[in-house]
Amino acid sequence: MSTETSRGTGGGKSTATWRNWAGNVASRPAREVTPTPTDELSAALRAAKADGLRAKPVGAGHSFTAAAATDGLLIRSDLLTGIRAIDRAAGTVTVEAGTPLRRLNMALAREGLSLTNMGDIMEQTVSGAVSTGTHGTGRDSSSIAAQITALELVTADGTVLTCSADENPDVFAAARVGLGALGVITAITFAVEPIFFLTAREEPMTFDRVTSDFDALFTENEHFEFYWFPHTGNCNTKRNNRSPGPVAPPGRISAFVQDELISNGLFQVVNSVGRAFPATIPGIARISSRALSPRTYTDIPYKVFTSPRRVRFMEMEYAVPRAALVETLRELKAMVERSRLRISFPVEVRTAPADDIALSTASGRESAYIAVHMYKGTPYQAYFAAAERIFTAHEGRPHWGKLHTRDAEYFAEVYPRFGEFTAVRDRLDPDRMFTNAYLRRVLGD
């Protein structure tokens, strides 16, 4: 059975305030529901509509934006979890929308299967991850949403739609990165493949070398990413390539030192010091950028692609045309150097091939991603505003789940298929049951 929390109907107050992971977004829904089968969800949506409530699904709350905030019906996906079916002949897995990526990755590994590519954390639900365009890095393999072959969507009137390239293809083209604006995703079918090994090579490299050799590093590696440490000329690079194996994970002590002690524990401490004493940040950055040692290891995909991230932060990320990456990044570095900003978090750079999803940040063009971060509790607005001016000058597209100030007018210019998405929205949700303030800004009303 579903569980529901409510005090009254349309104007009643929920018993709890919902907050996102970063703590910068909070909302007080009038009603909450945690449905299991889709018929319970359909009934909850119809009841909310009758009571004049808007509705929003929420996952793990890892979006920095208010995409999931609502003062109406909050739909939790906690009970929509688990694998529905594995089709080995077709190479697909169908999974309930509220399944955490961690659980999916581990379950697939037990079955000898894997997604082709994934992001660098796995705390999100599958529906939340795809709805905001979560991605990793890849020369040939795309975002998590681009690996979807079908999905199940419950619309504002309670109708259950099955969408794929053959069935409701216009909805499928939009709903894979749907921002929660088209309905509630209840199940997703992903393309999967037999599990494989990746060999990761992590290596410090100078900023000048990375930017000068970027095209070669990108071309020669299946998955290339790097981190630049502001106030320094230092980067840390990571190259992931398929390997015949065998498994050769980092040693237990090495993994603890690099992934927990340095990347989380010590990083938490130095960011706390930097927040209290900003003048120390450039010196700390120079030390931090040299703290990680080169290492090479081999393991199954999710153990190589993903890492623990325990230090909380605020984030903005933009996708720019891949050909514009080096120029954009050099402009960002020059801006930081001539400013009085003090940046304690590294800048993350990744890539993705073009895909065919209407509102994917890689829609129709090869893309490179530049993510800027600030430690939680540190003023971030001046840094993000200055970075955003650089990104938008290069026709950047902001990650849908990360901070930005763009609106529908801007998106209509940088997304050739923006009108296609809004037309599907007009048809599926003409009364805007799934809207909120964030969606009114980015999609129009």
Q: Is the pLDDT of residue 259 over 90?
A: no
Q: Does 47 score more than 90 pLDDT?
A: yes
Give dist(CA 286, CA 343) in Å, integer.
12
- CA gap 200, 224 in Å, rounded: 10
The pLDDT tens digits for 262-281 are 566 567 777 788 788 888 88
Please report the DSSP string for 54-86 in residue order. Answer: -EEEE-S---SSSTT--SSEEEE-TTS-SEEEE
pLDDT of residue 324: 98
Report pLDDT for 13. 44
Say if residues 359 and 421 touch (Cβ distance below 8 Å). yes
Residue 253 has pLDDT above 70, yes or no: no
Residue 399: half-sphere exposure toward Cβ, Cα within 13 Å: 26
| Torsion on CA atoms 18, 319, 406, 384, rounded to nearest 10 | 80
Kindly report which listed range (133-147, 149-163, 241-255, 357-371) carries the lowest average pLDDT score: 241-255
pLDDT of residue 273: 80
Q: What is the pLDDT of residues 167-226, one digit of tens each?
A: 999 999 999 999 999 999 999 999 999 999 999 999 999 999 999 999 999 999 999 999
Give me the pLDDT at residue 420, please: 98
Q: Give 259-328 as a DSSP string.
A: IIIIIIIIHHHHHHHHHH-GGGHHHHHHHHTTTSPPEEEEE-HHHHH-----S-EEEEEEEEEGGGHHHH
pLDDT score of 429 more than 80: yes
For the whole model, what pTM was predicted? 0.93
| Cα first-last separation, the chain | 35
pLDDT in tens, 388-404: 999 999 999 999 999 99
- Concatenating the DSSP letter of every residue in 355-366 gives B--TT-TTBTS-
In angstroms, the CA 52 to CA 112 distance is 47
What mean pLDDT, rounded, does the chain reach?
A: 92
Alpha helices by DSSP H, 26-163: 38-50, 101-110, 126-131
Place of tokens 């900023």: 207
The answer to whether residue 261 scores a pLDDT higher than 80 is no
Q: 3-17, 66-80, 319-333: which has the minimum mean pLDDT? A: 3-17
Confidence of residue 252 (pLDDT cuts 50, 70, 90): low
**Range with the poorest average pLDDT among 5-19, 54-68, 125-139, 374-388:** 5-19
pLDDT of residue 214: 98
Mean pLDDT of 67-96: 97
Q: What percent of the chain has pLDDT over 70?
A: 93
Average confidence (pLDDT) over 148-172: 97
